[in-house]
Structures are given as C-alpha cells and as structure tokens.
Structure 1
C-alpha cells in the first residue's frame, strides 16, 4: 500500500528500448541500469520510484507496440525484485492501459496517466480523454489496488481548446472520474509549476496533489505545503539534466532538505 504524505518519488528514465530510434543497449543492460538507479534512490531514502520510457523519442501516440509493453514489463520485474519501495510506471505517450497492465503483473503500486479528462494537443498529436475506458480496464483486469495518478493541464502540451476550463475545474473533473490523485506540471520537463495554479486547488479537491516537474532543492520548501508528493527526475541528475546519470551528491543534499521540512 502506498501512503502519500510528503512523499518523494524518484524518476528512473529507462534507456531507449529495442525497436526505438535511439536504442543502443540490450534489454539485459537496460534492466541493469534501471535497477542501479532504483537502488540509488532507495539508499538515499526516497519514498517511491517511478520508471518511464523517456528515451524512446519520438513517442508514439496513445499506444505502443507489444515489444515496448513487453520490454517495460521485463524492466519493471527487474526493478521490483531489486527494491522494496513502492513503484510506479508511465509508458509514453499516453499508453495508459499498457502501463496499467505492466503495473498489475509486476506488482507496482501506481501509474501516471496522460489525457485522463478533457483533451489536449501534445507534441505527439491530439490526446483524447481516457478515464472511462481506463478505469473500466482497471476493473476488468483486477487492478483496483493500482493507483491511477493523472496529469491535468499537462506539460509539453497546448490547452487552447480548453482555455475556458481552468485547472481547478479540470482537477474536479478528474476527481469525479475517479482519479486517485492529480499531477500538476510546469510547461515542460524540469520547468516549475505555477504556484498560483497550485494554490487554486486548495479546498477544491479531496484527492492527493502531486507535483510532476520542476522541483529542486532550492524551491522544495516553497511548494512543500501545497502537495502530497513530489516527482523528481531532472534535478537528481548530473548538472540537473534528465539524460545524465544520477548524482549521489544532489540526492544527499535534496534529502537533507526533506528531513528538515519534515521535522
């Protein structure tokens, strides 16, 4: 069971999988690297880990080939066997049913889902809402114990077609459609969340709020009171760049600040 109480969730950016343009490693090596990062997070005292196929650019839209789902299941099982932390998964772009299937078979605790309510124009194309289909699929495969955390007004996207629906209304819709928690992001990977948008959700919803981009050691205290969990990836990497290796020094400094805030 996963308890979101100021939780720090570390991102494992899985290396490019077989069949994708940037692939250069065998699946065994990809698993080895993912396990190494997950163990670094566990050793540093993080609360959970999430894996994501971020190196698989350019992303497919809304679904992926069976080879990607199969590969992510193998990586997920390797990570599950290596660490005891709660685990999550996202499969880009918007392959939410695939992520849920992998989470179910690999004993993961949550997924990150795109396009849950309303539609938006992503760099992969138009991503339609999926709540009805996804939550029925969760029921059908017996995965009700897998939390579905859902992006709203997601990064790397245009929301012009829903400009008359603010972020609070979007969050309320996600809660109504049975989201287990909403994820708020900045405009792109590593970009900070707009604090006024985050504050606007106060007392509007009764499900957890997760911050999904832009959290650093320098700004964590500013956002601390307004979220239940913080998904951190880029900041933990050397020079703060998502493609680089994890920096143990950055991890240590960040978790020292977390301890102070918790006390």
Structure 2
C-alpha cells in the first residue's frame, strides 16, 4: 500500500497538526465575484505567506466564497482558477516552509476536479464530500463517490495524493443515514480506502462534538481523524486526541471566516497547540 506523506505525518506527530484555510475570493462567474483573477491570486499568495511564516503545518485552498454552490461537475473556469490558486500555494510553501503540507477542496463535492488539480499542481491531499453514503446539502443530493474517485486517482497514477473525507458533513441533512452512526461511517470510509476522516460541527465555525470524535477514534485505529470546524484556542485541548485541526474562522479578524487573516491569532494558536500532547 502506498505510504502517503501526509498520513504518515499525521499519525506520527506528538500533537495535532494544524491546517490553515485559505477561503479563495469569489471566482469568475460566481455571483459574488468582484476581483480580477490577478487580484485573487495576489490575495491567495499573501494569505499563504502569512500562514507559513506563522508556523502552521499545512494550508488548504477552498472556494468558499463561491456561494451559492452547485453540484459537480465544477465549471471549467472554477477548475482553472483553483489550479492557479494551488500553484500560488505551492510557491509560497516552497519559499517559506518547504515540507509543509498542502491541500484543496473544491465546492460543492467536486472531488474529481480537486484530485486533478492536486495531482497537476503538486498538492498532498484533497478534502472530499460524500465519499461514502449520501446526504442532502443545500445544493441538493450528494452521492457517494469512493469508487469513481479512487479509480480516477489510480488512472492518473496520483496515489501519493491522500483523500480525507467529511463524515456526517456540516451544512447537510443526514436523515437518510440516521441509522448509521458516525463511528460506523468512519469504519466504512476506512474500508473504502479513504486516507482519513474529518469530524465537524453543524456549520462553519461551529465546534465539533468531542464525544463524536472519541467514538470515531474508538472505531478506527492507525487512521487519521481530523477536526474540521470550530477549533479555537479555548477548546483545542478538548480535541487533543485528534490527529489534525483544520482552522479557518479562528484565524480571521473577529473569528469570522469572511474577514482578513490576523497573524497574531495564528501565532497565539500555534503556541498553544505546540504545548499540547496527544
């Protein structure tokens, strides 16, 4: 089995690894787009530089400002734009923190497109939606995609690109899988060859459940479990058994994901996390 670098780093770290989120400004063709592509890329590079200079372990680019989202496939201009954004991320990493981890999520549920971008731009992983089971999101029904996604990865010979998947994903309804516990879903994600799972709260900025995290950790062993929303300096210790934290809102001015990054918040958070031990 391929040993993916990001998986090894997550499992062998003595503390949760920290991944900062770059919420890429609204892209061309989306309702909120106001910036030129050059301005968007300048902002992506600036935020990536701030993150890496302040000691995060990795950075993820995501087109979160592209609301309202649409079901896959993503439009060609979105894939092109996210490829350019990913290239800026990689250049920043190489300039400031070689060896740091990089990832991508393309909304909504554009997992094939994210895999293609990750492979061609040299990213380490993707964050996938709807990997196993199905759910209803605000953009509609999202089907499980494990089989098609991993066959696509194999066809690209992109086996080094890890797939981390949300389970009981935020901003979604899960009535159809109400009889499947989050622990069972994590087990099925592992069985279907995901590289790790992400536990979240109900929405962006909402804290996950420490009990749900514990259930997942009891259900899967030697398998990365990340916390994907609501992590901050006050509750990080509650989730210290997780392998990674994905942090967006808490690194922004006022703790609001829509605002600018605040370097001092990143530095303070990293100082706190560096004192934690799994």
State TM-score, norm by structure 2: 0.92
Q: Distance in 2 between matches of 1:65 and 1:179?
A: 25
Correspondent of 1:253 among 241, 253, 268: 268
Alpha-carbon contact 2:252-2:265 (below 8 Å) kept: yes
Task: Indicate whether 1:217 and 2:233 are aligned.
Answer: yes
Correspondent of 1:202 among 202, 217, 237: 217
Q: What do residues 101-120 of structure 1 show as CA deviations (whole Å, max 9, x unaligned)?
A: 00000000000000000000
Q: CA offset at residue 62 of structure 1?
A: 2.5
The residue that corresponds to 1:111 in the other structure is 126
Q: Distance in 2 between matches of 1:60 and 1:96?
A: 13
Q: How does 1:144-163 map to 2 (within 5 A)?
A: 144-163=159-178
Correspondent of 1:75 among 65, 70, 85: 85
Q: Distance in 1 between matches of 2:202 and 2:72?
A: 20
Q: What do residues 55-106 of structure 1 show as CA deviations (whole Å, max 9, x unaligned)?
A: 0111111221011001110111122112132100000000000000000000
Q: How does 1:9-28 map to 2 (within 5 A)?
A: 9-28=19-38
Aligned-residue Cα RMSD (Å) equals 1.1
The residue that corresponds to 2:17 in the other structure is 7
Task: Indicate whether 1:31 and 2:41 are aligned.
Answer: yes
Consecutive unaligned residues in structure 1, runs of 5 or more: none
Q: Secondary structure at the match of 2:219?
A: coil
Q: Secondary structure at the match of 2:118?
A: helix
Q: Compare relative contact order (CA 8 Å, sep 6+) and give the higher one, 1 or 2.
A: 2
Alpha-carbon contact 1:53-1:92 (below 8 Å) kept: yes
The number of equivalent residue pairs is: 262
Alpha-carbon contact 1:62-1:127 (below 8 Å) kept: no
Q: Distance in 2 between matches of 1:202 and 1:64?
A: 33
Q: CA offset at residue 202 of structure 1?
A: 2.6
User: Displaced runs of 4+ in structure 1, greater than 6 A?
Assistant: none
Alpha-carbon contact 1:31-1:79 (below 8 Å) kept: no
Q: Distance in 2 between matches of 1:26 and 1:73?
A: 15
The residue that corresponds to 2:60 in the other structure is 50
Q: Distance in 2 between matches of 1:210 and 1:140?
A: 27
The residue that corresponds to 1:238 in the other structure is 253
